[in-house]
Structure 1
């Protein structure tokens, strides 16, 4: 059976989400990060709606890596799904290309870019782990 996985592209202002229940990851949406409480509630809703069994958080090199790990630890204390980290150094650049190729209008594309980044990251995770 295919596992339902939620991919997270962490950013201080926006958090991109992607979803997979097999070998293909797709962009799911973006949560604007205003405060932890409302973010957490929204994420818990999504996890319940989609029946998420595992969460994969993209980690980039450098300063953000530490912040992302802290974010992951905080998340782990709030939810029951296991969390894995995956190196996503390539995904932002690839995501920009992918979203351009999709032919969406620019403002819509920018709004979803974080979800695309999450989906590229989750796709490479799946390609390497499934």
Structure 2
């Protein structure tokens, strides 16, 4: 079964998905939504689960967990925890947290080294960050 990963921000959410064997992670999209309107993100997750080509193929939701380098929580950490609770009211799949420290910086660096313009990096970085988070999760559970 596949894992769907989210890198949640206040206005964008990067999505990534694993292959059916849980070996390869692929970035799906950068989803833009109205600031702090997480209902739109939940609707997008439900779309992936129920109406997309991945219908009935996803068994776990992986959420990037933004903790500080000293492992303390920030306001973004609490935001993700609140989102997970709200999402859990709409789905029965397990929702797991995966440390996302450095994922966005690493995604930005990868895209910069690949020669992407600043504008193009902005459209790709969140889905690549979700892909990196999902790769870390898949390594951790294998």
Counterparts of 2:125 and 2:116, CA distance in 1: 11
- Which structure shows the higher helix fraction? 1
Counterparts of 1:91 and 1:39, CA distance in 2: 20
Higher alpha-carbon Rg: 2
- Please report how far the alpha carbon of residue 81 of structure 1 lies from its aligned counterpart in structure 2 after TM superposition: 1.6
Instruction: Tell whether 2:86 aligns with 1:84.
Output: no
The alignment covers a number of residue pairs equal to 128
1:76-124 C-alpha deviation (Å, 9 max, x unpaired): 1112221000111121121112223444443222112111111101101
**1:29 matched residue in structure 2:** 29
Is contact 2:38–2:83 with CA below 8 Å preserved after alignment?
no
Consecutive unaligned residues of structure 2, counting only runs of 5 or more, are 68-72
Equivalent in 109, 114, 123 of residue 97 of structure 1: 109
**2:16 matched residue in structure 1:** 18
Deviates more, 1:4-13 or 1:107-116: 107-116
TM-score (norm 1): 0.88
**2:60 matched residue in structure 1:** 54
